[in-house]
Amino acid sequence: MSQRSCLSVILAAGEGTRMKSALPKVLHQVAGLPMVAHVVKAAEAAGASGLALVIGHGADEMRKAAARFAPKAETFEQEKRLGTAHAVIAARAAISRGYDDVLVMFGDTPLIDADALTVARRRLAEGAAVVVIGFRPPNPAGYGRLIEKDGKLTAIREEKDCSEEEKKIGFCNAGMMAVAGAHALKLLDAVGNENVKGEYYLTDIVEIASAQNLDVVATEASFESALGINNRAELAQAEAIWQQRRRHDAMLSGVTLIAPETVFFSHDTEIGADTIVEPNVWFGPGVRIASGAKIHAFSHIEGATIASNCDVGPFARLRPGADLRNKAKVGNFCEVKQAVIEDGAKVNHLTYIGDARVGAGANIGAGTITCNYDGYSKFFTDIGEGAFIGSNSSLVAPVTIGNGGYIASGSVITESVPDDALAFGRARQKTIPGKGKELRERFASAAAAKKKAAGADH
């Protein structure tokens, strides 16, 4: 198997009208990744060394997206949509290079299991010319049935053409196939369009291959793996299945999820053993969490790195570029963006830290803001080791707070502070005895006069 070359032809040209979206259907996301990118990952995991994306609707957008998630893939445009076999033939230039195996996949099946593809390739290695991947849906109504005889697949019968006996068959066509490269073009070129719609159907190669005494067999994938997405309700169903799988894997790998059904992962979330995740936490793309961290409830994390034994939340937001080092703490209602929080530093509550470094062991008081943006450009704030930033302080970047620096509460700091210095940046307090009583009496009199005047008007 490992020595056999493999091309994956992924059909991604459909308009997806039932999605009711300007975005090409296969670019709608599951776990933060386009559906078709999940299919690409499965193909690569099954050993595909070549990738051919057959595109149509939104071709330019598809090419741009493919450059991100499949930079080595070739794209082939199907200008007229004349059926599935016609779509595969659009990739003739890639197929003709002589791969041992050709996998035909669909860009709207994001849950396809790489193991199902590997099994199909193994049957090709054992001598089959065509391998059809089937599945057993809870209700087979509407699906094409796989007709088998003596262990061989003889036909794929659309339900409208099935006899009453054939309709009882629960083994259905998932659409995906593996075809021996030596026969692929010959079989595809033999497909005709003598049908009501005048289209070229990929399923016809089963009977064509059988008529040529080539071995055609079926393998079985799970219903979930074969699930195709046609509308947003099915997209949500796929997301739910993906998340359930990922939560299960996380818990088996040593992660505690207190309320698993409320935690949402991204396709690339990395999370270490002995991490505890409380309810209602969302992980966006690009999150890496080392072992022993604790993520409290209602936190929102994306593009962030969290080292061992960090403490995050509740109600914390870590945005891209947030980098928490060992035993750092970011507490409730704090936001961190493009900033390093070094070992043991604490950003406890009601604070914004952006474009900054918070040195090891520093303490950031409640309500602190790094004022990093002047409406045109971003500027950096550097807070030294062991510094103490008093509550309700504004650090106007660019500014440096030295190691051990102490910022008095309520300060606006516009100039750098040396190591171990104390800085005040606020107006001096003035206290006037009796003035509070005088103001209350004045305000009460004014309010009474206003109320009396309003009554006279009525």
For residue 169, give both structure tokens: 């068959």
| In contact, 221 and 174? CB cutoff 8 Å | yes
User: Vertex 217, ends 211 and 222: CA angle to 5°?
Assistant: 145
Q: On the CB side of 224, how many CA atoms lie within 13 Å of its CA? A: 12
Closest CA to 52 of 98, 96, 94, 5: 94
What lies within 8 Å, CB to CB, of 164 at 6+ separation is none
DSSP 58: B
> CA-CA distance, 87 to 11, in Å (whole number)?
7
- In single-letter form, the type of residue at position 202 comes to L
State how far the Cα of 8 lies from the Cα of 194, in Å rounded to an integer. Answer: 28
d(CA 137, CA 223): 6
Closest CA to 238 of 22, 23, 38: 38
Catalytic annotation on 349? yes
Q: Which entry of 28, 267, 349, 458 is annotated as an active-site residue? A: 349
User: Which residues are tagged catalytic?
Assistant: 349
